Structure 1
Amino acid sequence: MTSANSLPMGKRLTFRILLTTLIGLALTLAAIGYTLLLSWQLEGGGAAINEAGSLRMRSYKLAVELEYAASSTSVEQQLSEFNRTLADLQAGDAKRPLFLPVTPSIRAQMRKVQDEWQKRVQGNARRILQMTSPEERQAAIRVFREELPEFVSQINTLVSLVEVELAEKTTWLRLCQTALIFMSLAASVALLYLLYLWIVGPVTRMQAGIARMSKDDLSVRLPIETEDEFGVLAQAFNQMADHVQSVHRTLEVRVLEKTARLQAQNHEVSTLYEIAGFLSGPHAIEELCRGFLHRIMQRIGADGGTVRILDSHSDNLHITVHEGVSEHMIEEEHCIKKDECLCGAATQQGIVIVRDFRLLNQEKRYRCQEEGFVSLAVFQILARDQVIGSFSLHFSTERSISGEERRLLETLGKNLGAAIENQRLIAKEKEFAVSQERNLLAQGLHDSIAQGLNFLNLQVQMLEDSLRRNDMEEISDIAPLLRAGVQESYEDVRELLLNFRTRLQDSNLESQVRNVVARFQRQTGVHGEITFEGNGAPLAPEQQLQVLFILQEALSNVRKHAQASEVRVLVHNERDFSMTVTDDGAGFNLEQVHEKGEEHVGLRIMKERAERLSARFTIESAPGAGTSIALHLLRQERLVA
């Protein structure tokens, strides 16, 4: 097939159109340029006629100045202006424009006028100016006047010659304009004809061919009449028609093949979606592997299968789940090295596919073959590009794995690896969260109950000593202290149990805060004031729970140490979140606490919870001025609820 780019330059339609356009443009520009030249010459010649005509008036004005002028200054000025006008006529001025035609007769007449002026008129005028006798001066002026008409006649001749020349050019200008009109008409007709011959005709024939083909007339062919782009296009149309006619004959077979491919692709996609959806659910690792293996075996048509997880510390592969495989084989292979058997080799070498065990080395033992399986396919389980196990599919008959199935199983192996890794991370996260809560619980027990028990231990020792000495007065002093210590420890235990049982209801932080403060008021009798400001989005549940724990710990410290009569809680929720708890109690000296290297009871717990929130925790206090704690969570640290 010939392409448009391989055509010779002379046969290309674009070259012909460009050449025709350039020729027409050149002729048009030449005609317009010649017309503009004639117009410019006519304008310059008209200005020359005006200047030459003004010489006649200046001649007579010079005669009057010679006769009546009181001084020679005005006469000299007239002579200077006359010379300047002659110089302009001789040299011309393209800016005005002003110039005489270049014909020989006009140039000869201009020289006569210049000679007559230089030799006779200007010379006589200067001699008259030099005469002192009035009688001689008047006689010379009469002679000057008598000779002046002859000079003016020469100027008139010059003007007449210029007018004749301009009349001829005016005639040429009209002829050029008329010719330009006829050229435009002829060019338009020629252009229309060429457009029809080169473009409209071929496009019309092609449109008719396309219309016939759209009516299922696949036998239509276009005549190739030219060797330009439309000829190439007609050839391409004919080849397309041949191809369409050929395709139409085999359309049914092609449709069946395409339908089969689409069904296979749909089956692959549905398998991927189904198994990916299952793997994204909250299942234990064993349940994930069992459900994965069951679905894969159904989709692929396998008779047996296993999922093995790699122990990275010992390089052992452990069978996690199996299906369709005897217990005897599982007992032998429940734990193998990763360089043993084909399932172990797949973790190092990649995919292992055995179409027929009978074609392998029969001297080597294959447990799958002993089980009666003929074919085997083993794929890696990958998590973050690291092999964490393998899964195998066993077939009782000879079975090959197609390229589409291979890609699908590779993808599903990566999905299973990601699901297993996610479950491991979730388990570690839960373990870490439990560890943190246990640590906080231990700190709470140490800061409250342990200190109370230590106090009780000291009091019991003192009581025993008093009993040995039978000091009833000291015993009576110690007994109330023991009762108060036991009561304080009992209240601490109740408060800790209540705090660690706190759960969010419907993720409503405001109602939970009000409940905590109300319970605090009932237990202590201290007045509580709550203020909520802002209309920001709610915090995530885990962040809300940490805020509640910090509030409970702050109120617990108020109950134990502050001796306050009022507590104010301010919650400000905009893009940033902040909570401030202020009491009017006894307060304490922060500098002394830091110097001693100690902290208030519960302060360490509140700081650690604030760090878990990635929030800023501050405390302000002074003896007799109360205490204020503030929690500030920046917008970039907030989690979406």
Structure 2
Amino acid sequence: MSAIGCTLLLSWQLEGSAAAINVAGSLRMNSYRLGMQLAADGPGLPAAAASQLRAQLVQMDAILTQLSRGDPRRPVFLPPSADIRAEFDRVALTWRQKVAPRVLGLLDAQAPAGAVRVRALQGDIEAFVREADQLVNLIERDSEQRTFWLRSSQLMLLALALVGTVSVIYLFFNMIVAPVERLRAGMGRMRERDFEVRLPVESKDEFGQLAHGFNQMADRLQGLYAGLKQLVSNKTAALEEQNRELALLYDSAAFVQQQQSAESLCDGFLQRLCDYFKADGGSVRVLDPVRGNLHMLVHRGLSEDMVDGEHCIKVGECLCGEAVQKKVSVVHDMRHMAQRDQLRCHREGYATVSVFHIHAQGQHLGFFNLHFRTPVTFNAAQRALLDTLGQLLGTAIENQRLAAREREMAVSEERNLVAQGLHDSIAQGLNFLNLQVQMLEQSVRGGQAAEVEAIVPALRAGVAESYQDVRELLNNFRTRLPDGNMAASLKETVEKFQRQSGIPVRLEADTDGAPFPREQQLQLLFIAQEALSNIRKHAHATQVTVRLHDRQDFELSIEDDGVGFDPAALQSQGDGHVGLHIMRERAQRIDAQLSVDSRPGGGTRVALRVPRAVRRAA
């Protein structure tokens, strides 16, 4: 590599020196051209000739500057020699102190230049050309010397190639041919059933590993022939273990096919795993991909402190969150971890914690843990079994979600049919009534019944309000949810309310809890829509505040600064107030707690709360 680098450097320097010779040679050509121009023009210099001479002076200065600074891109540079640099300085000095000033003097003089001054200038040019010749000769001698070193380095490369070839042949024979011959001879003896043959392991390279593997094969063959009975026993034990694995798979597959809630499904799945692997504890977590949360759905054998502290973790947080982020199944041995004292699992007394993923159709749904207080290791077969069980559970959870979405679609289609029926009957009837009222108004205006004309505007206002209520009912029936995002649906409802009523609304949303089933989300959204509809119809409010707090408990409140009402008087009406009655029925369907606080002139607050005890996971 050094010889190659030296060759490249010398080649680059020779290229630069050759270009420098050409550039330095151009000094002589330009100098002669300058002298010939002065001799041809004689004592008087026309304006065009003077302009051309000035351009040649600028070109000569540019050439000297290029030689002085060099140009690595061409490349062009003077060789790094003290003699060459000194000669170049003399050439530059002669040009700048003698030739260039004389030429400029001739060009700047008012009177025509005399022949004596021109001949003196030509003498200076001759001296400048001799110095430039000397500079070119020095560069050529330096190039000859570098050419000699270039050829020497090339000869060195040739010698290195010859030595390397001989060395490679020698090493090839000793490191490859000889070990292969020994291996061939050993295989010949093994073919003759000489199981005592062993190869010497003389290195740690691939042939050493091959010889070691050959010796292991010989040991195994010798052991097989010597202990066939033990081998049959081991195979029988392996078959029994496989039968246990198949029994677990069959039992788990049959269990997850049953109709049950997600909590019951995961709890029965976790129980079977804990019993099979004799785990001291475990948990199943589901992933909320929207917020990056991992919610603990079920657990076994874990302390309440650990459950409360880790009921919800972020992706990338702690050991389990890191495994989800990397999407790999891991088994952590707490004894060999540097920061084990900072981990809650280690403080709880667990020595081994495993993380295996739940996924279906390429979609990551969560993971399950197995905790052991004594150190445990999983072989490849057990890891494959747990991965398969994770796929089985993931498929069952995904099937539950698909079934829930199918039910939602069926309900949605039914609501669309109801909405269509309402639109085709009540809405059109009200519209027709509105037209009739307009015609009646026109007729009355042409007559003398003044009292009838006073009633008609109120009648029209009632008809218009009824029509608006029907349209709002139709919109509510057609409500659809985004994928598990309650906050987005609530925001869309609030924006629609603002557009319809013109009342400003402040929305405060703090959502980090587990997602609701889609049926529950629809009921919650309908309650919010009904509360906002009551505000639009009756409250005469100027400001509405909607607060959503979604953690372990779900809380939704809708407040207005309207006229309010007397709850005692409303209670005496029984179920006469249809809006509140509908909201209470919807709250009862999802086991939620609904409260309405109001007083005349003090606004109204509708609060909805779903405790963690009755909250179901999606």
Q: TM-score interval w.r.t. the shorter chain?
A: 0.3 to 0.5
Question: What's the TM-score once normalised by structure 2's chain length?
Answer: 0.34
Computing the radius of gyration over CA atoms, which structure comes out larger, 1 or 2?
1
